[in-house]
Amino acid sequence: MRTEEGGNNGSCDKVFESDEYRWYGSMDRIGSYEVKPFSKARQDITVISQEGKRRLNVHALIEVDVTKAREMITKLKGSGDVSFTGWIVKCVGQAASEHKQMNAYRLGRKKIVLFDDVDIPIPVEREINGERRPLAYIVRKANEKTVADITKEIRGVQHQTIDASTEVLGETLTRLERWVIHAPLWIKKLGVRLMRGRGLLKKKHFGTIGVTSIGMKGRFPGWVIGMGGPIATLVAVGGIMKKPGVIDDEILIRDYLHITITADHSIIDGGPLARFISRLTELLETGYGL
Strands 2-6 and 250-264: what pairing?
A: unpaired
Give residue limits of the domains in the chain.
Answer: 2-35, 57-285
Q: Give me the mean pLDDT over the 237-254 stretch.
A: 89
Closest CA to 263 of 63, 97, 101, 86: 101
Cβ–Cβ < 8 Å for 170, 135: no
> According to the model, what pLDDT value does residue 106 have?
87
Q: How confident is the model at residue 114 (pLDDT cuts 50, 70, 90)?
A: very high
Q: Give me the mean pLDDT over the 33-49 stretch.
A: 73
Residue 6 reports pLDDT greater than 60: no
**Greater model confidence, 250 or 56:** 250
Residue 238 reports pLDDT greater than 80: yes
CA distance 66 to 70: 6
Q: How many CB atoms lie within 10 A of CB 135?
A: 20
CA separation, residue 87 to residues 142, 158, 189 (Å) = 10, 16, 34
| CATH number at 57-285 | 3.30.559.10
Q: What is the pTM of this model?
A: 0.77
